[in-house]
Amino acid sequence: MKLALPIAILVLTILLIAAGLSGPGRYSGTVGIASGSALPGFTERATTPEQALANFMLDVQKHNWDRAFSTLDKKAGATKAVFVQEWTGSNGGLLALSSLERYDARPLHATDSEAQMRVRLHWTTPVGPVENVRDFRLTRQGQQWKIVWDETPPPKVPAQIIPVNYLRWDLVGGGAGEEWGSNNVDAPHVRIISMNAVDSAEGSIVMGEVVNEDTIPAFVNVNATLVDAAGNAIDDETSFDKIDHVLLPKQVSPYRIDFPHISLGRVRNVRMDVKATLVPASSDPVIGVMNQKLDTDAQGRRVLQGDLMNQSGQTVNIPHVIVSFYDNSGKVVWVSDGYVERALLPQSSEPFAVELPNSLAGKVQNFHVVVDQYSLGKT
């Protein structure tokens, strides 16, 4: 009799576990949001679209490429190598240096045989957190759901000769320690040509444009200090990566300086400071900006989107797009930036998109796009 109660509890526990594992597998079209981290539960038989997508995202996070590729409903000609490259990047691009931290998924459409899900991917990258959105189509095959994989092959550029006729500025006469940012010559003449301070949900933002008025290239950084009514400094910040740091002669770049959690109501004055240093530079690689237009993306956000065309014979590993938006008086009302995930191969193009707050969409009459770039093996 002493063992009756423990045995009854054990039997009841086993029955409850069995009932949970053998529950209904039919997808009922539930409209919810699924989130995944590094260790979501893996289900061997994906009997719902959510399970199939969760299994797939877990395999992608853990780089289980064999299992991820084997569970796809592949279109003709799909290859594992291209599939892996789609997720890991190549040629030193930003995606090749990033890892998938987590995802959020929600169904867009579902029937008993087909479903479409939208996934917001959260990446950890060397330039900070990056998000993008991808839609997946799933089909039911028997009792299991699979992701339909439409392969996008990498661009193939034919062998060709690209003439090199770009301008280049070399720095000579300094020591080895002065090759980058020499202090033994006069600094280039750089000037801030506009400044606008605005409030945002995240804090205060100081933005505008800066120009290199000299005949030599300059490495530029813009700093700002917020001052209260008593003349005391509230905070000081720098433009960091929200600027094209290396400006060629007569080149203009947007800049943006963020002050998180500081309301503009506390600010009486803004002190600006621009620092310029002479550096060697060249006008290559030449990156063209094409098909620019303001549009609405799949999430309902206003974005400026277009294509970057690498017109040179060099690979650009990480393209960085910075955009200044103007109202009808020519005033800079917003500065936004974004990184392109994939490397920009010679004579090839990649899409880009930068966000514009919906509240400003009606005020924007024009914009100016600048492309910064980071290439392996270069300073």
DSSP run (H or E) holding 187: none
Query: Is residue 315 predicted with pLDDT exceeding 80?
Result: yes
Same domain, 173 and 143: no
What value does the mean pLDDT take over residues 99-113?
93
Tell whether 231 is covered by a domain.
yes
Residue where one domain finishes, among candidates 282, 303, 326: 282
Same domain, 262 and 316: no
Same domain, 42 and 113: yes
Same domain, 145 and 32: yes
Tell whether 161 is covered by a domain.
no
pLDDT digits (tens, 9 = 90+) for 235-255: 999 999 999 999 999 999 999
- What confidence category does residue 174 fall into, taking pLDDT thresholds of 50, 70 and 90? low
4 φ, ψ (degrees, to nearest 5): -65, -45
Residue where one domain finishes, among candidates 223, 258, 282: 282
Contact 73, 326 (CB under 8 A): no
CATH code assigned at 62 = 3.10.450.100
Q: How many CA atoms lie within 13 A of 22 on its CB side?
A: 6
pLDDT at site 23: 40
Residue where one domain finishes, among candidates 115, 149, 183: 149
CATH code assigned at 215 = 2.60.40.3230
- What confidence category does residue 150 fall into, taking pLDDT thresholds of 50, 70 and 90? confident
Same domain, 178 and 264: yes
Domain range spanning residue 356? 287-374
pLDDT at site 175: 58
pLDDT digits (tens, 9 = 90+) for 12-45: 444 444 444 344 333 333 333 445 544 445 566 7
Same domain, 273 and 331: no
What value does the mean pLDDT take over residues 64-87?
88
d(CA 101, CA 242): 24
User: To which residue do tokens 């423990």 refer?
Assistant: 6
What value does the mean pLDDT take over residues 142-158?
83
The conformation of residue 168, written as its DSSP 8-state character, comes to: E
DSSP string, 60-117: HHTT-HHHHHHTEEEPTT--HHHHHHHHH--TT-GGGG-EEEEEEEEEEEE-SSEEEE
Query: Is residue 108 predicted with pLDDT exceeding 80?
Result: yes
> What is the chain's mean pLDDT, rounded?
86
Tally of domains in the chain: 3
Same domain, 42 and 95: yes
